[in-house]
Amino acid sequence: MNFFYSKKKKKSKDLKSVWEAMEECKKLGLARGIGVSNFTCSMLEELLSFAEIPPAVNQMNPAWQLKKLRDFCKAKGVHVTAYSPLGAARAKWGDNRVLGSDVIEEIALARGKTTAQISLRWVYEQGVSIVTKSYNKERMRQNLDIFDFCLTEEELEKMSHLPQRKGVTFASLLGPHDIVLEIDAEL
């Protein structure tokens, strides 16, 4: 379930009834798992106040680390998935702040890895699962080859200080509607 369903018309009833229907799908074996995307802490809190089955939630990358949201999810037992952990570099809505980061590149050069591998390893070490995409066989292989090294404390420290900025705002995709601006402000 995306954020839009829950905030639409600001009726928490909508969220409750949609989530109950999704829980029913799971109970009937029609869905293996049910989850949410782009939910903020307060939206998750509302959902968790009545959910029998807790959701999964997504979206973060080294340049938009969402530490508060991740801590919140961890405390509530909600798994986090990173969709576009490389910043969706070539997509219309993405940018080059992850793959073009000097800090990540410096770590990559020192470790004999690529910037993408350091970025994906960092996401993995945060306990977050990864949904990255490539049309290139070699880059797909490279993206899977991140399990034979660990980032050092010093490298993790550097990563934690990367400039943070939301890569894409919902307002830029959906227009400056009140609800959308409210969600952008909360993230």
Binding site for ligand A2P (CB under 6 A): 84-90, 99, 114, 116, 132-136, 139, 142-143
Nearest to ligand A2P of 16, 133 (CB atom):
133
Neighbour-count burial of 67, counting CB atoms closer than 10 A to its CB (0-12 exposed, 13-18 middle, 19+ buried) = exposed
CB of 131 to ligand A2P, least distance (A): 7
CB of 99 to ligand A2P, least distance (A): 6
Contact 130, 79 (CB under 8 A): no
CB of 75 to ligand A2P, least distance (A): 27
DSSP strands (E only) in the chain: 57-58, 80-83, 129-131
Nearest to ligand A2P of 34, 57 (CB atom):
57
Q: Can you tell me the distance from the alpha carbon of 63 to that of 89, in angstroms, rounded to the nearest whole number? A: 12
Contact 123, 61 (CB under 8 A): yes
CB of 136 to ligand A2P, least distance (A): 4
Nearest to ligand A2P of 43, 168 (CB atom):
168
Single-letter amino acid, residue 77: G
Nearest to ligand A2P of 30, 109 (CB atom):
109
Contact 62, 98 (CB under 8 A): yes
Nearest to ligand A2P of 135, 153 (CB atom):
135
Contact 3, 40 (CB under 8 A): yes
CB of 128 to ligand A2P, least distance (A): 13
Query: Long-range contacts: 132-140, Cβ < 8 Å, 24+?
Result: 132/82, 132/84, 132/85, 132/86, 133/84
CB of 56 to ligand A2P, least distance (A): 18
Nearest to ligand A2P of 5, 124 (CB atom):
124
